[in-house]
Amino acid sequence: MRLLLVCLLIIPAAVTASARGDDWPQWMGPGRDNVWREDGLLERFPEGGPKVLWRTPISGGYSGPAVADGRVFVTDYVTTADVRQANFERKESTGSERVLCLDEASGRVLWKHEYPVTYTIAYPAGPRCTPTVDGDRVYTLGAEGNLFCFEAASGKILWSRDLKKDYATKAALWGWASHPLVDGDRLVCVAGTAVAHSVAFETLTGKEVWRAGTAPEQGYSPPTPIEAGGRRQIVFTKPDGIYAVEPETGKILWEAAYGADNGSIIMSPVRVGEYLYLGGYKEKNLLLKLQADAPGVETVWRNKPKHGVSAINVQPFAADGLIYGFHEKGDLRAVAIPSGEIVWKGPGPLGSRPQGSGTAFIVRQADRYWMFAETGDLVIARLSAEGYEEIDRAHLLEPTNTAFGREVVWCQPAFANRSVVVRNDKEIIRVSLAKEPVGQ
């Protein structure tokens, strides 16, 4: 409930936000919508690049940081195993996952929790899920299903769950990657397969509130709250379908079929007006129309050739009746809804690099977009029906991992308090993006 109230207060607090700055307490920010609502930011980068406020050593992982109440939370994986391996190859490795809490002003480690884990997944560099901060608590989910609730200030464990054990399942090929959602007094997660696909826990105790659905594999798509048909709903996707539940009870409100290749459904559905769009590996796509008078959907089209965007690593963004996103082949494109027609496509911030699963995370701020590219560059750009317009770029981090034969850094940044916080597999940094200097 505390996190929900913070989200609801963002708009009326806009004037205050310009003075105090905003936190980034979960995946995709306060509104879980990849919108950065601060002002007072750089128009272009200064000569020599923006100021790095601090650097702190870290180990491997794809998980983004969360920033709240003067603290930065991030997870990593410490191991001696070689984690630079084939994209679709499961291989066991042993090590420790860690939850780190840093001081936002200095980068100093305030507390950490470390636990042993055996990875059985591909891309085994480290955890995938951004921590979720809700008031005085922080929730983390590791790549092998270790779910924790910590006291944010001290790191004391308040409760924990082993999703693999509790729901009689195994990790998906690329591990648990569905960022948990705080919804009122419930923590909503993608859990397992035959026993339960989705589960809600009491935020205070970890006690199960409800469970819903089954699936051949978990998939990687986070739960997505919407309001449609006069009701709040939480939408889940899985390799064989998409469904919505009643948030309080887990009752399934509607379902539609989907057919993911290799269990690969990664993006959360994107809403454009009365439509929900979903796309994935091997150019699968699905457009649903939400019913207006009651919870439900109708299929508008499915697997439409040469239409849509099949998102792999980057959550697409909806604006101006279009969906902007990176296609699985690595091109950035704008897609019209409901037709699904490609308005334009091109390399965007990735230029002439090899493009398979090309990645640049997209965040909107006012009338422009900030994109953190797999090259380690932060790019300022504009997106419109006319195309991609690059304003400026600065190199922040070195790529420390490999994918499809190239060096990459795949991590969604946090944009908080006129700064960006981002990591690779060696360090996490905070960089000022303010017009006026940010204090150290």
CA 52, 54, 57 angle in degrees (round to 5)? 120
Tell whether 131 is covered by a domain. Answer: yes
Percent of the chain with pLDDT over 90: 84
Predicted pLDDT of residue 2: 43
Hey, is 15 helix, strand or coil? helix
What integer pLDDT is reported at residue 194 of this predicted model?
Answer: 96
Q: Would residue 196 count as lying in a domain?
A: yes
pLDDT tier at 352 (50, 70, 90 boundaries)?
A: confident
Lookup: tokens for 348: 């965007």
CATH code for the domain in which residue 184 is found: 2.40.128.630
Tokens of 376: 């380690």
Residue 10: pLDDT band with limits 50, 70, 90: very low
* Res. 83 pLDDT band, cuts 50 70 90: confident
pLDDT tens for each residue of 163-205: 999 999 999 999 999 999 999 999 999 999 999 999 999 999 9
The answer to whether residue 391 is domain-embedded is no
Q: What are phi and psi of 262, to 5 degrees?
A: 60, 25
Write phi, then psi, for 173 (nearest 5 degrees).
Answer: -50, -40
Which tokens hold the place of 61?
């992982």
pLDDT of 438:
59
Q: Do the bridges between strand 132-134 and strand 137-141 make them parallel or antiparallel, or are there none, so unpaired? A: antiparallel
> Confidence band (pLDDT; 50, 70, 90) for 5?
very low
Please state, in angstroms and rounded to a whole number, the distance separating the CA atoms of residues 164 and 186.
20
Q: Which of 146, 136, 145, 140 is nearest to 63 (CA)?
A: 140
Kindly tell me if the per-residue pLDDT of 398 is higher than 80.
yes
Answer whether residue 69 is part of any domain: yes
Is the separation of the CB atoms in 87 and 21 below 8 Å?
A: no
pLDDT at 355: 77
pLDDT greater at residue 245 or residue 329: 245
Give SS3 for 356.
Answer: coil
SS (H, E, C) 143-188: CCCEEEEEECCCCCEEEEEEHHHHCCCCCCCCCCCCCCEEECCEEE
Q: What are phi and psi of 16, to 5 degrees?
A: -65, -40
What is the per-residue pLDDT across 33-64, written as a single tens digit (0 to 9) for each?
Answer: 999 999 999 999 999 999 999 999 999 999 99
DSSP letters, 269-329, are PEEETTEEEEEETTTEEEEEEE-SSSS-EEEEEES-TT-S--BSSS--EEETTEEEEEBTT
- Residue 72 near residue 102, CB atoms below 8 Å: yes
Q: In what order do the strands lie in the sheet with 146-151?
A: 132-134, 137-141, 146-151, 157-162
Place of tokens 């290749």: 261
- The tokens for 64 are 């983004």
309-327 residue pLDDT tens: 999 889 999 998 999 999 9
Residue 382 predicted with pLDDT over 90 = yes
Q: Which helix (H) or strand (E) holds 365?
A: strand 360-365
The whole-number pLDDT of residue 1 equals 43
299 is a domain residue: no
Instruction: Say what the pLDDT of residue 16 is.
Output: 35
* Angstrom distance (rounded) from CA 163 to CA 169: 8
Closest CA to 261 of 179, 192, 328: 328
User: Is 233 a member of any domain?
Assistant: no
Q: How many CB atoms lie within 10 A of CB 191?
A: 28
How many structural domains is the chain composed of?
Answer: 1
What residues contact 149, with CB distance under 8 A and at least 6 apart? 137, 138, 139, 157, 158, 159, 160, 187, 203, 206
Residue 437: the pLDDT is 67
Tell me: pLDDT of 277 over 90. Answer: yes
Residue 132 belongs to what domain range? 59-220
Q: What is the mean pLDDT of the chain?
A: 92
Whether pLDDT at 106 is above 90: yes
Report the pLDDT value the prediction gives residue 13, as an integer from 0 to 100.
36
Query: Which of 11-25, 66-80, 132-146, 266-280 is predicted with the least confidence, judged by mean pLDDT?
Result: 11-25
Residue 144 lies in a domain: yes
Checking DSSP bridges between strand 231-238 and strand 241-245, what pairing results, if any? antiparallel
User: Is-contact 341 307, C-beta < 8 A?
Assistant: yes
Q: So what's the pLDDT on residue 312?
A: 87
pLDDT of 229-268, one tens digit each? Answer: 999 999 999 999 999 999 999 999 999 999 877 768 899 9
pLDDT band at 356 (very low <50, low <70, confident <90, very high): confident
In a domain, 237, yes or no: no
Residue 69: name the closest of 135, 164, 116 by CA: 135
